[in-house]
Amino acid sequence: MGMGKPSSYAELEDRFSRIALVRESSAILSWDWATMMPVGAAKARAAQLAELEKISHERLVDPKMKDLLARAEQEPDVQSDMWLASNLAQMRQQWMNANALSSKFVESLATTTSACELAWRSARESANFSEIIPQFSAVVDLVRQKALSLSESFGASPYDCLLHQYEQNLTERDVDSLFSDLLEFLPSVLCNALDEHGRSSSFKGRFPIGAQELLNRKIMEIIGFPFESGRLDTSHHPFSGGGPEDLRITTRYDDQDFTSSFMAVLHETGHALYEYGLPERWRGQPVGEALGMVIHESQSLLIEMQVCRSKEFVELITPHIREAFGGRLLDLDEDQLRAVLCKVEPGCIRVEADEVTYPFHIILRYRLERLLIDGELKVEDLPSAWREGMRELLDIEPADDAAGCLQDIHWYGGDFGYFPTYTLGALAAAQLFSAAVVKNTDILPSIRVGNFKPLLQWLDVNVHSLGCSLSAFSLIERATDAPLSTKSFEKHLRARYC
């Protein structure tokens, strides 16, 4: 701690640094669980993760924290410094969240979700949701209890409290309003896009996984992923984990379609670059953490959808793809590649969905998870409700549970309230990128020649380096001179697909 820093605040910084170390350790163990852990270690790993969750929670609810927070909030030096005041506000928020739940409950939730995640792998492999009903029912019951406990502590609705775990100021009313606006124009955009972009064929043939990985690594390096502080691995479900100094990206490969792993890697690279760019001075402190999942998703989708399907990026990567796969794509040109990357086709798998149909996937999950939490949808009825929702929104139906309600890991790990942030992140990505290319006209020409520095510098100033010093909605308005809305997203979709 620096000389002259208020004593109560200084002790809080030390305590939260130690909590951050526990969470970082848990993040790496979770990464190992998803990538390398032998199946036989699952029981021990679940106990390890539950214990770390319990330790982190107990440190937060230490009785001394209440007095430390109260005294620090009275210290003039804290209130006069924006970063110190913001950090202290985030500390109190985390403390309040922790005190709404008992350590015993936190441990039980961690153990139950770990068991359910493991069962999910088997159920997904056999495409049989009935296999996981007991474990998933237990998770849903605990998440309901969690939501009710948080609701009693904060005076918000149970579902709003779940949203707040991923975006502090987000409410069900906000989501309903923005999703209603989306549904005003998305069906017509989809209809037009299918006419213009729905006839594009995918690449045919076999694409060796080794060649795919080399291509992915090369493009990650061009974009700016720091391999000295991170790595790329495989898992059942693509994700980005670890922390700012230890970035862990995973993907999954299909030897019949290299674009699947390629775009997933680009998405996760956006997440990782955000983590890497968080303010170094505030590492290990609440204010130095990622702001929330709306901004986190905006950074992944800005890279994956706004940048990496642009004409400039396609021109950049076409020669690299020809080189990666040799004779099979020797005659590939930019128009062919962009036609494939911008193909619009309703499908059952969310992570493979194009940016026009993707919001429909999120709207379905949003509707279903609210019904599950409210108790209006029974766990055993989820597969049929899923099929009905897909028919209503996209006029398709999954062939089995693996392509339906078992395709995502989120719910089985207890992550209810997470899904809306994906589409809100898409709205924010469109709005941020639109503002960026207007305010810095070098961004797009630089991407064409493989120089991502102008874009990353703009993002650093306007997003990454701000950590949690602002709310997500304040950050977006400050960076774009407008509140978050569907306008930029609609303009973007109509320009690209209509």
- Asked whether residue 5 carries a pLDDT value surpassing 80, the answer given is no
pTM of the model: 0.92
Cβ count near 397 (within 10 Å): 14
pLDDT score at 173: 97
pLDDT score at 198: 59
pLDDT score at 152: 94
Q: Beta-strand (E) ranges in 17-120? A: none
Residue 296 covered by a domain? yes
Residue 306 covered by a domain? yes
**Residues 259 and 305 both lie in one domain:** yes
**Residues 101 and 142 both lie in one domain:** yes
Question: 3-17, 98-112, 370-384, 474-488: which has the minimum mean pLDDT?
Answer: 3-17
CATH number for position 264? 1.10.1370.30
**Residues 148 and 261 both lie in one domain:** no
pLDDT score at 6: 53
**Residues 254 and 139 both lie in one domain:** no
Specify the residue for token string 């108790």. 375
The helix, strand and coil proportions of the chain, stated in percent and rounded to the nearest 5, come to: 70, 5, 25
Lookup: tokens for 116? 């359910």
pLDDT score at 1: 44
**Residues 191 and 252 both lie in one domain:** yes
pLDDT score at 119: 95
Residue 378 covered by a domain? yes
Q: State the Cα–Cα distance between residues 17 and 128, nearest whole angstrom.
A: 43
Question: 56-60, 195-199, 246-250, 252-256: which has the minimum mean pLDDT?
Answer: 195-199
Mean pLDDT, all residues of the chain: 94
pLDDT score at 199: 58
CB 246 within 8 A of CB 24: yes
**Residues 313 and 418 both lie in one domain:** yes
Q: Could you write out the DSSP letters of every residue in 335-368?
A: HHHHHHHT-----S-GGG--TTTHHHHHHHHHHH
Residue 293 covered by a domain? yes
**Residues 272 and 362 both lie in one domain:** yes
CA distances from 29 to 32, 234, 248, 283, 374 (A): 5, 15, 11, 20, 32
- Asked whether residue 62 carries a pLDDT value surpassing 60, the answer given is yes
Residue 161 covered by a domain? no
**Residues 376 and 456 both lie in one domain:** yes
**Residues 263 and 406 both lie in one domain:** yes
Could you report the per-residue pLDDT of 172-229, keeping only the tens digit for each?
Answer: 999 999 999 999 999 999 999 998 765 556 787 889 999 999 999 999 999 999 999 9
Look at 203 and 169; give whichever has higher pLDDT. Answer: 169
Q: State the Cα–Cα distance between residues 135 and 233, nearest whole angstrom.
A: 28
**Residues 327 and 453 both lie in one domain:** yes
* Range among 73-77, 196-200, 376-380 with highest mean pLDDT value: 376-380
* Averaged pLDDT, 103-127: 93
* Averaged pLDDT, 465-489: 97
**Residues 103 and 251 both lie in one domain:** no
**Residues 142 and 178 both lie in one domain:** no
- Asked whether residue 97 carries a pLDDT value surpassing 70, the answer given is yes
pLDDT score at 4: 53
Could you report the per-residue pLDDT of 282-330, keeping only the tens digit for each?
Answer: 999 999 999 999 999 999 999 999 999 999 999 999 999 999 987 667 7
Last residue of a domain, one of 155, 186, 209: 155
Q: State the Cα–Cα distance between residues 182 and 170, nearest whole angstrom.
A: 17
Give the SS3 label for residue 63: coil
- Asked whether residue 403 carries a pLDDT value surpassing 70, the answer given is yes
Active site residues: 268
Task: Give bridge partners of residue 239 from the DSSP assignment.
Answer: 250
Residue 371 covered by a domain? yes
* Averaged pLDDT, 376-380: 98
Range of the domain at 122: 7-155
User: CA nearest 444: which of 338, 316, 263, 340?
Assistant: 316
pLDDT score at 3: 46
Q: How many domains does the chain have?
A: 2
CB 116 within 8 A of CB 413: yes
pLDDT band at 79 (very low <50, low <70, confident <90, very high): confident
pLDDT score at 351: 85
Residue 1 covered by a domain? no
pLDDT score at 186: 97
pLDDT score at 204: 76
Q: State the Cα–Cα distance between residues 27 and 243, nearest whole angstrom.
A: 8
* Averaged pLDDT, 362-390: 98
Residue 139 covered by a domain? yes
